[in-house]
Amino acid sequence: MMVFRKLYLKAEGVGLSLWILGLHLWTASALVEPLTYLPHDLQSYFNTCHGCGDLTEQTGELAFWHVMQAYVTKFAETNPSLSESELSYFHETIAQSFAPYHSNRSKRQVAAPRVRKEIRAMTDAERVRYFNALNQLKTNTSLSPNVYDALAAFHQGANVQRAHFGPAFPGWHRLYLWILETFLRQQDPQVTIPYWASHLDGEMTTPTSSVLFSNAFFGPGFGTPDTGPFNSWRQINPNTVFTRNLAEGTQLFTVAGIDAILRRSRNRDILVPTAQADSDLERLHGGGHVFIGGTMNNLNTAARDPIFFSHHAFVDQIWERFRLNQRAAGIPTATDYPWDPNDPRIPASHNPNLTAGFTTVGSPFDSFRQIDGFSDDFFQLVQYEQVPSCATGCAVSRYLRCNTATNRCVSRSTSEVRAAGINVDTLQGLIPAGRKKRQAVQRNYEVCDRNWFLHDVNVNTMSPASPDVLRNIYTNSWSYIPVKVVTKRPTNYIDFPKFSAYGSHSNGDNMKPELTKVGTQKSYEYCEDHMDAPGKIRIVAYGLNHDAFSEEYVISDNRLAVSESIGVIAIRTPTPAGSSDVMVAAFDSCGRVCRPYCKTEPDTKHNNFFYGALRVSTESPSMYSASYSDALLSVWEIPSDGACPSVNNNLVPLTFFCEYTDHWIWGPNTSPTIDVTEVKRPKVLIIRKKTYNLYGNSGVVSPLDQNRLSRVG
Ligand SMILES: [Cu+2]
């Protein structure tokens, strides 16, 4: 093989110098090297995060998600920059929203509470009014750039810290819901925010096919909202348009989780950091963000997607049920705020007397302080309808049905509703926010019923790194790195013993132990129930020294004992002035962690210190591409002279192995595989001293590359 290779190099040697010249026309050089440490603050989030350290205790994807959310807040501005007059307009509006409840009026004149319903239990007309009010806020410029975007910007930066990772979580979001709803009711006084009871979808066989993601509800579950109620939002403000990327295995709220919360009686038992994992309201809510994916997957941007407010209205509904129980038991709801100034795990900004980060407003709250979200006034201000149940008749809604096996309502799928002759492809009476009426593009994102082998992966999710999708995410300058994912079939896969290496023709005796030994990583409850296969591997990349986030998926085939696929992650293009440091992680669709390995010298020991963090700089050698397809194609060498095609692993700087061991991988303090003294090594490990270019040491140019180069030239 080696001999063959040398000959081959010689033959191509003539063209090499020409080719190198061409290369610089279209791609910068860059080095990709592993970071063997994490930024100090990120590592401390990992070290102190709730339940971190043991992947058998909680789902790795959600544990990682919460930590990264805490970290990325530092990249976002905290509040929208509003002018003096805009601020006073905001104050006025919020102050007036309480007036009907707190004036000296007689009892009869006191305003009725705002009543919030499950979105599928509303009438179509009510739902249209709600979506219309949202669209009106999107074009209302009383706040800049528009009221919706200004309010969405409250949920970023330091406010994300105020609102999450501690006891203020439910109260802060309660105030936030009140604010958005107040502005919506300026547009239409009848409107309230519908809540999204996500366990109604979580109990479907295929949650991603829920009617919720039809055009008559929240619009498509994949990509930008080019159809559905928000179809004009991309035109109105391309910088804040949202994207979605549904992940079918990801855990939504479950009845068991809600019941666990409702069995507790004090807020300290359901809120971070003192709650136990099973009844942790904030932790359980994270699954909804990850399930929606895209913009919702990053707390700095999550509120740009209106489904955010319905997700949080359901969090609030659960909390309200909890508070009603407290009230019945004589527990003082307004003061049951679990604040302990001596507990270093609680962010200082969660001090109940500090501001919630919305601007100061008038009576009855002299300002929105963190404790105000716990106010008993809310018993009077807002009420929630119950989640539809089989007993009360799921049939109040055409979009739900009673699952007789569980005696609970579940959502209907879009195709089910269509089959019943109901049009959910358009919404009668909806007034899009844009001036120009755009031609509706009909897209069908339906998936078939689940098939055990060919996973119901939607190919529309497979290239989220397209410029369209990324445009809203902070930078226009993206580069692409190939990533390899090796998966090993997990033992709980439904037909595990039947196929390939584990089948009757091979009883496994001859297999390498690496192939047959598996850990017991915790997976989403959904996967346990459905014996689901993790065929869809999600890869996420977060900027560590800059504000960027991207997602990618690859598919693995669970019929095989081991399978390999290659995906491409998008990263901010580094400049000579600064590297792009990124944290990359991969999870199967059951939320289990895949372990990162960096392409490095064959000293595997150092892999123990590799957390999936990379530094990408403009130094040689070049290891990234200017486009998604170039990155993908660069990995394969397809010689023009009929020689053997090959995959050049040297060009894949990062590999994930989904091996299902339960070792915690993000902290030297917690991983049993790491020798702590080794951490004091030099900060950056240079992985490649040899110079090679995008197409490897050989300098071989494949026919495909030739085409590309000539196109550029
Ligand atoms: Cu939030």
pTM over cut 0.85: no
The Å distance, Cα 299 to ligand 1 centre, comes to 6
Residue type, 450: R
Residue 426: its pLDDT value, please? 87
- pLDDT confidence tier of residue 312, bands split at 50, 70 and 90: very high
The Å distance, Cα 349 to ligand 1 centre, comes to 15
The Å distance, Cα 698 to ligand 1 centre, comes to 50
Quick one: three-class SS letters along 560-621?
CCEEEEEEEEEEECCECCECEEEEEEEECCCCCEEEEEECCCCCHHHHHHCCCEEEEECCCC
For 157-201, what is each residue's pLDDT tens digit?
889 999 999 999 999 999 999 999 999 999 999 999 999 999 999
pLDDT for 499 beyond 60: no
Residue 248: its pLDDT value, please? 67
The Å distance, Cα 15 to ligand 1 centre, comes to 56
How far apart CA 590 and CA 536 sit, in angstroms, is 9
Q: Most confidently modeled of 287-291, 428-432, 549-553?
A: 287-291
Residue type, 524: Y
Residue 407: its pLDDT value, please? 93
Where b means 16+ CB within 10 Å and e means fewer, 392-412 reads eebebbebbebeeeeebbbbb
More confident residue, 31 or 261: 261
pLDDT for 315 beyond 80: yes
For 224-280, what is each residue's pLDDT tens digit?
888 999 999 988 988 888 888 888 666 899 999 999 999 999 999 999 999 988 899
Residue 101: its pLDDT value, please? 77
pLDDT for 346 beyond 80: yes
For 123-134, what is each residue's pLDDT tens digit?
999 999 999 999
The Å distance, Cα 667 to ligand 1 centre, comes to 26
pLDDT for 410 beyond 80: yes
The Å distance, Cα 512 to ligand 1 centre, comes to 46
The Å distance, Cα 160 to ligand 1 centre, comes to 6
How far apart CA 171 and CA 240 sit, in angstroms, is 26
Residue 110: its pLDDT value, please? 72
The Å distance, Cα 81 to ligand 1 centre, comes to 20
pLDDT for 204 beyond 80: yes
Residue 676: its pLDDT value, please? 31
The Å distance, Cα 270 to ligand 1 centre, comes to 16
The Å distance, Cα 223 to ligand 1 centre, comes to 22
The Å distance, Cα 80 to ligand 1 centre, comes to 16
Contacts of 656 (CB under 8 A, 6+ apart): 483, 484, 485, 486, 537, 539, 586, 594, 595, 596, 597, 612
Average pLDDT in the 310-336 region?
98
The Å distance, Cα 685 to ligand 1 centre, comes to 37
Per DSSP, what are the bridge partners of residue 572? Answer: 478
The Å distance, Cα 623 to ligand 1 centre, comes to 37
For 358-390, what is each residue's pLDDT tens digit?
875 444 445 789 999 999 999 999 999 999 999
Among 136-145, 209-218, 379-388, 419-428, name the one with the lowest average pLDDT: 419-428
Contacts of 539 (CB under 8 A, 6+ apart): 483, 485, 551, 552, 553, 554, 567, 569, 584, 585, 586, 656
Task: Residue count of the chain, please give it.
Answer: 713
The Å distance, Cα 306 to ligand 1 centre, comes to 13
The Å distance, Cα 240 to ligand 1 centre, comes to 17
Residue 196: its pLDDT value, please? 98
More confident residue, 107 or 545: 545
How far apart CA 711 and CA 626 sit, in angstroms, is 14
What percent of the chain clears pLDDT 90, i.e. is strictly above it? Answer: 37
Indicate the SS3 state at residue 382.
Answer: strand
The Å distance, Cα 17 to ligand 1 centre, comes to 54
Residue 511: its pLDDT value, please? 59
Among 103-117, 339-353, 429-443, 478-492, name the one with the lowest average pLDDT: 429-443
The Å distance, Cα 277 to ligand 1 centre, comes to 19
The Å distance, Cα 662 to ligand 1 centre, comes to 29
Residue 466: its pLDDT value, please? 33
The Å distance, Cα 493 to ligand 1 centre, comes to 34
Average pLDDT over all residues of the chain: 77
The Å distance, Cα 370 to ligand 1 centre, comes to 14
For 543-564, what is each residue's pLDDT tens digit?
888 877 888 888 887 667 788 8
The Å distance, Cα 172 to ligand 1 centre, comes to 8
pLDDT for 505 beyond 80: no
The Å distance, Cα 154 to ligand 1 centre, comes to 10
For 597-655, what is each residue's pLDDT tens digit?
876 544 444 445 678 999 888 876 667 777 777 887 888 877 888 888 888 887 888 99
How far apart CA 626 and CA 525 sit, in angstroms, is 39
More confident residue, 306 or 14: 306
The Å distance, Cα 71 to ligand 1 centre, comes to 14
The Å distance, Cα 532 to ligand 1 centre, comes to 29
The Å distance, Cα 66 to ligand 1 centre, comes to 11
Note the maximum CA span of the chain: 96
More confident residue, 627 or 70: 70
Distance of CA 194 to the CA centre of its chain: 22
CATH superfamily of the 77-440 domain: Di-copper center containing domain from catechol oxidase (1.10.1280.10)
pLDDT for 414 beyond 70: yes
Residue 459: its pLDDT value, please? 30
The helix, strand and coil proportions of the chain, stated in percent and rounded to the nearest 5, come to: 40, 15, 50
The Å distance, Cα 171 to ligand 1 centre, comes to 11
Domain boundaries, the chain: 6-59+445-638+647-658, 77-440
Helix (H) or strand (E) holding 402: strand 400-403
pLDDT for 10 beyond 60: no
The Å distance, Cα 384 to ligand 1 centre, comes to 20
